[in-house]
Structure 1
Amino acid sequence: MPNLIYYSNTDINIYDANTGDRLATQMAKGRYLQTQDTELTAALNKQLDYLEIKLLADDYGGWLWHGDLEKLQLCDRQKYIAQLPPIPNASAISDRLPQVIAYIQQAMSTPNEYLWGGTVAPNYDCSGLMQAAFASVGIIIPRDAYQQEAFGDRLEGGQLPQDLQIGDLIFFGNSTKATHVGIYIGNDQYIHSSGKEHGHNGIAISALQGSDPVSKWYAQQLRGAARIVRSLPPIVPI
């Protein structure tokens, strides 16, 4: 039996386990998810507090609290397929980068704080902010920083590539994995949503070679940069 497709009428939290202890991501209003009929039936009968789902567009998995089922609307499979937008090419993506940055600047101008798993206004985590900003102009990128790094075209030239351009994503982390991301805005600066302990507790500008504590903290973890030149292809539910 094909998975059921649902449309969200509002923003919904998606958790990283069936305990609901921590966010994995958020389902913005207007997004789609799929889930198995057996999971849904059990949740509706209150045999499950959380049901496992997959968000469409980025194929990101998580757990939905059964009480949020009332915020979803069942969607016909063919109707979902018919509304899938065209995939922008590299040229279209480049043209839309100023709008991506404008989205982030607007988010920064609104009172906000860092939220692990946050992908909807006003509170974001680092990669959630990037995903939301690109999605606002029809460019779909993966959810997590390490996935975004792998998805983009890696720029050659070490940690600070010579051909770094406005709109490139900057990645930070350890020797094996990217754990943080920001977007380059020129003049050695990038915007990112960073945490409370070593960051700005929200969206702010840092410098790649700055002397302030936040810039210095992330400079120690700089991995490199990647350019977004493609959008994820549409997910057709199974």
Structure 2
Amino acid sequence: MVLPIQFPPSTNGEYCCKTNLDLYNSSVCQELATQAAKGRHLKILADTITENAVQVQLCEDGYCAWLSFAQINALEPATTVYQAIAFSRREIENHLPNIIAFTKAANNIPNYYLWGGTIGPNYDCSGLIQSAFAHSGIWLPRDSYQQEAFTQRISRDELLAGDLIFFGIERVNHVALYLGYNHYIHSSGKEMGRNAIGIDELNSTKDPISQAYYKKLWSFGRVMTSLS
């Protein structure tokens, strides 16, 4: 099917974002699913075109979402095909100070919890984690339950700064970055958190936010590699 607007074709099947883009859960384009930062690569899934939008797949993490035709001129044909960079665990360890610093810097800027947010200053929980690692070139899956499956399971006694902490009841639905010394940083919503990025304690303290998340503690994971 041909796109219902004038748009240059891509010889390699990939497009590049000329600016930050919002991507949506459906072709109605009302509920944010994720965001694509300037410079990200994506593919247009031409068989999903509707009157208002087209489904796209982000190349770095394989995530599929809907792009409104109102934003499609923010794409340009990619001059090269996206190629993932392989990282060893040792290389990832070298980047962990920068990854932690990214989250702390994000915490120091006024922000609020944004479902689907992966571009500062406003993030959702997994968006903050993905963006922190991606800032160092390390790509993780988009959603918290995907990140949990992607990481190597570890015990609480094995936790090191830069490991991930997962929360949930029936399944994982929240993720945080361990900072060491029994504290973690995360972007938390209004219901259980502060509607912003913040640092909480990994135990059942009198602090209501730390206590609420402690009751939903699910597992701990270590990033061993990047998406390829």
Fold match, TM over 0.5? yes
Partner of 1:236: none
Q: Measure the CA separation in 1 of the matches of 2:40 and 2:206.
A: 41
Give the SS at the match of 2:95. Answer: helix
Question: Mapping of 1:158-177 within 5 angstroms?
Answer: 161-174=156-169, 176-177=170-171
Q: Measure the CA separation in 1 of the matches of 2:125 and 2:183.
A: 15
- Please, what TM-score do these two structures have when normalized by structure 2? 0.91
1:216 to 211, 214, 220: 211
Deviation string 1:41-82 (CA, Å, 9 cap, x unpaired) is: x6xxxx621101101110000100001011111124xx225x
2:14 to 5, 12, 17: 5
1:182 aligns with 2:184: no
Aligned amino acid, residue 90 of structure 1: R
Q: Measure the CA separation in 2 of the matches of 1:153 and 1:92.
A: 16
1:117 aligns with 2:116: yes
Q: Measure the CA separation in 2 of the matches of 1:62 and 1:3.
A: 20
Aligned amino acid, residue 61 of structure 2: D
Question: Mapping of 1:90-169 within 5 angstroms?
Answer: 90-156=89-155, 161-169=156-164
- Native 8 Å contact 1:35 1:53 kept in 2: yes
When residues 191 and 32 of structure 1 are mapped into structure 2, their CA distance, relative to the original with a 3 A threshold, is same
Aligned amino acid, residue 143 of structure 2: D
Q: Measure the CA separation in 2 of the matches of 1:172 and 1:191.
A: 13
- Please, what TM-score do these two structures have when normalized by structure 1? 0.87
Give the SS at the match of 2:81. Answer: helix
1:197 aligns with 2:191: yes
Deviation string 1:17-59 (CA, Å, 9 cap, x unpaired) is: 11112111000111011013465xx6xxxx6211011011100
1:70 aligns with 2:73: yes
Give the superposed CA RMSD. Answer: 1.7
Q: Return 5+ residue gaps in structure 1 as ranges.
A: 234-238
Aligned amino acid, residue 32 of structure 1: H
Q: Measure the CA separation in 1 of the matches of 2:62 and 2:84.
A: 16
1:23 to 24, 27, 32: 32
Aligned amino acid, residue 68 of structure 1: Q
Q: CA deviation at 1:3?
A: 7.6
Q: Measure the CA separation in 2 of the matches of 1:162 and 1:54.
A: 38
Q: Return 5+ residue gaps in structure 2 as ranges.
A: 2-10
**Aligned residue pairs: how many?**
218
Q: Measure the CA separation in 2 of the matches of 1:38 and 1:21.
A: 21
1:52 aligns with 2:52: no
Give the SS at the match of 1:4. Answer: coil
Q: Measure the CA separation in 2 of the matches of 1:75 and 1:6.
A: 5
Runs of 4+ in 1 over 2 A off after TM superposition: 1-4, 36-39
